[in-house]
Amino acid sequence: MSTLCRSTATEATEPGPGGRGFSSALCGGGGRVAGLDGLRTVAVVLVIVYHVLPDPLPGGSVGVDVFFTISGFVITRLLVAEYARTGRIGLWSFYRRRWLRLMPALLVMCAVTAVLAVAFAVPMFRDVWVAVALTAGSAVNLVRAGEPGAYSGLTAPFGHTWSLGVEEQFYLAWPLLLLVLLRRGRARVVLCWVAVLCVLPVIWRTVLWDPAAAHRIYNGPDTRADQLLVGALLALVLARLRADDPRLVVLRRWAGRLCWPALALLALIVWQIPITGPSGWNPLWYTAGFLAAAVLSACVVAALELCPRSWPSRLLSLAVPAWVGRNLSYGMYLWHYPLIRLLSDFGVRGGRLLFAGLTVTLLAALASYALIERPLLRRGRVRARRPEPAVVAAA
């Protein structure tokens, strides 16, 4: 979104019956930010490289933290825009869109992997049927959270879908909670409550902390909620500030100033700080570190949203990374782990594994996008133009 869009669209559009202090969401809720799509590409590539070569990038899993913050931001921006425009949130429509966006591609990935399990007798596929059931039920993160020692083979080869479980559980609860907040409080009250919710998981992680609870903290939807909620809080702040609000000018200035330091600190985490495995079970990271990563990610997201002419925004908005992030990042995340594990079981190692893994992952993501995701998205857009009877109205 450009600065001009934020200025003109906000002034030209009157808030709907549910505006109640979030009228700026009417501009911000409809368009994509190319820089955010480019950031998705960077995050998914980091995760893939980390899964192939963890030693050079011990903190590469922070790409998932970035994804969480982006998801909280984007989803909340859409929800608050709908509420500001109509005074209601179409819950059935929201859940249906999320299901169409996430589950068909996920189920196809599970089915193809199950076929591979029948075709190839490799160690990774021994418990594939249990793993398929857990993945389809978005329960991989819950199972992993209950394993105090090394992860069992119960969720292989879908261990990476723990993060999808966290997001899907957030998507289930957050629209309902946000609706309650929007209906019962003014904008400032809503912002205060969401800010409090961002801090609660830190307190809860501190209470839980023990090396034996590392998996519980890393995989729990409650213990990772602050990373999604920080993105949600940013979306609400931007929806609160009108184009003529001097605080928006201050926020834009500081977002531009903090973007490079935030990127540098995230890069330092990727390069130097182990996060997973016993060597990464640092009490500071497993209590406050997740929130710190979310705040750094939110600084970058704010700069990409508010400063489209800045260098980070220009670089991440380049056509190739933006297109890949917009259309292929989800498919790349889905397919990379089982494919890389399969190649590894066939004896591919090191740099060859990274090159081959990236190649087959891109091909699988392209097929997923062309054959599954894009047709369903088009169908969803057509359905979205029709009146939705199942909505929850604002008071």
What is the model's pLDDT at position 152? 82
Cα–Cα distance, 102 to 362 (Å, whole number): 18
pLDDT digits (tens, 9 = 90+) for 304-324: 999 999 999 999 999 999 999
Sketch the domain layout of the chain as residue ranges.
3-33+67-310
Q: How confident is the model at residue 26 (pLDDT cuts 50, 70, 90)?
A: low
Residue linked to tokens 């079970």:
281
Q: What residues pair up with 393 in beta bridges, in sequence order?
A: 88
Q: How confident is the model at residue 39 (pLDDT cuts 50, 70, 90)?
A: very high
Report yes or no: 18 and 84 within 8 Å, Cβ to Cβ. yes
pLDDT digits (tens, 9 = 90+) for 241-286: 988 889 999 999 999 999 999 999 999 999 999 998 888 899 999 9
What is the model's pLDDT at position 156? 81
3-state SS assignment for residue 355: helix
Report yes or no: 70 and 301 within 8 Å, Cβ to Cβ. yes
List the end-to-end C-alpha distance of the chain, in Å, as a whole number. Answer: 31
Q: What is the mean pLDDT of residues 215-242?
A: 96
* Pure H helices in the chain: 3-12, 25-28, 34-52, 62-86, 91-119, 128-136, 140-145, 162-184, 187-208, 214-219, 225-240, 246-272, 290-306, 311-316, 319-327, 329-345, 350-368, 374-384
Q: How confident is the model at residue 369 (pLDDT cuts 50, 70, 90)?
A: very high
